[in-house]
Amino acid sequence: MHLRLIRNATLRLELDGRQLLVDPMLDPAGARPPVEDSEDDRRNPLVELPEPPEVVVAGIDAVLVTHMHRDHFDDTAAELLPKDIPVFCQPEDAERLRGHGFGDVRPVETTAALEAIELTRTPARHGSGATAEALAPVSGFLLRNGAGRTLYIAGDTVLYDAVEAVLDEHQPDVVVVNASAARFRGGERIVMDADDVIAVARRAPRARVVAVHLDAVNHGVQTRADVHQSVHEHDLTERVTVPEDGAAVPID
């Protein structure tokens, strides 16, 4: 099991010899306007990919899309990804993905498989109240390889009881959380913040926690430096990784 952060929530995973690309945001820096109703007016993505997008997608065996917001699946991804590989997604996104020309879309209602790899869709809540309803649907995914090791991609979610239940029930070996405390102007955060990253690490004391979704989109409030500082203050640097774009994470 190997994990490499590309940028934002885009990951390259290797499980059982298969290469999975998660949440491909492949647009060049500045290709899109700022997220509406946010305090920072910089265009998105804020930074370039660490390598050309053709390199990012080379050799992949499948794609996993947690949801269709443009910082998780964008125009370059729609254009560049091979149209014949399996694309796993939440059921609500299947038709949109087929509309982009993908011929092997596999909506995950509960569970699905890619050879020996099992994928289980998990709950997520992208904020609270009316904001969460407006941003729905979103999902997380739990991936289990043939040896039984598990990697939990929490997705765009705040920390709430359903996420805690996944941590408690499955006790994953690796937990990937989307941090940055992203929010709209004057609103509450819509993904986890540094305190939530610490809470996840405390709740899953056996897991390697990987904090991503940082320094790439204009409505993020907290930076990698903020999360690093919190991890250091709570003496969790041995278990919590905050990778730079392009960096591999030691999880084996």
Is residue 252 scored above 80 in pLDDT?
Answer: no
> Is residue 252 situated within a structural domain?
no
> Is residue 251 situated within a structural domain?
no
> Is residue 108 situated within a structural domain?
yes
Torsion sign across C-alpha atoms 102, 61, 72, 67: positive
Q: What was the pLDDT predicted at 251? A: 85
- What lies within 8 Å, CB to CB, of 175 at 6+ separation is 151, 152, 154, 167, 200, 204, 207, 208, 209, 210
| Model pLDDT for residues 121-151, shown as the tens digit of each residue | 999 999 999 999 999 999 999 999 999 999 9
Whole-model pTM: value is: 0.97
Mean pLDDT of 162-191: 97
Q: What was the pLDDT predicted at 220? A: 98
| Model pLDDT for residues 59-108, shown as the tens digit of each residue | 999 999 999 999 999 999 999 999 999 999 999 999 999 999 999 999 99
Q: What was the pLDDT predicted at 250? A: 83
Q: What was the pLDDT predicted at 176? A: 98
Instruction: Please answer whether residues 8 and 212 qualify as being in contact, where contact means their C-beta atoms are separated by less than 8 angstroms.
Output: yes
Instruction: Please answer whether residues 125 and 107 qualify as being in contact, where contact means their C-beta atoms are separated by less than 8 angstroms.
Output: no
Reported as a pLDDT band with limits 50, 70 and 90, residue 174 is very high
Q: What was the pLDDT predicted at 161? A: 98
- The CATH number assigned to the domain holding 171 equals 3.60.15.10
Instruction: Please answer whether residues 24 and 56 qualify as being in contact, where contact means their C-beta atoms are separated by less than 8 angstroms.
Output: yes
Domain that includes residue 178, residue range: 2-243
Q: How many CA atoms lie within 13 A of 79 on its CB side?
A: 7
Number of domains in the chain: 1
Q: What was the pLDDT predicted at 129? A: 96
Instruction: Please answer whether residues 89 and 72 qualify as being in contact, where contact means their C-beta atoms are separated by less than 8 angstroms.
Output: no
Mean pLDDT of 152-175: 98
Enumerate the H helices of the chain as residue ranges.
Answer: 53-57, 75-80, 94-99, 129-135, 161-170, 194-203, 224-233
Is residue 45 scored above 90 in pLDDT?
Answer: yes
| Model pLDDT for residues 182-238, shown as the tens digit of each residue | 999 999 999 999 999 999 999 999 999 999 999 999 999 999 999 999 999 999 999
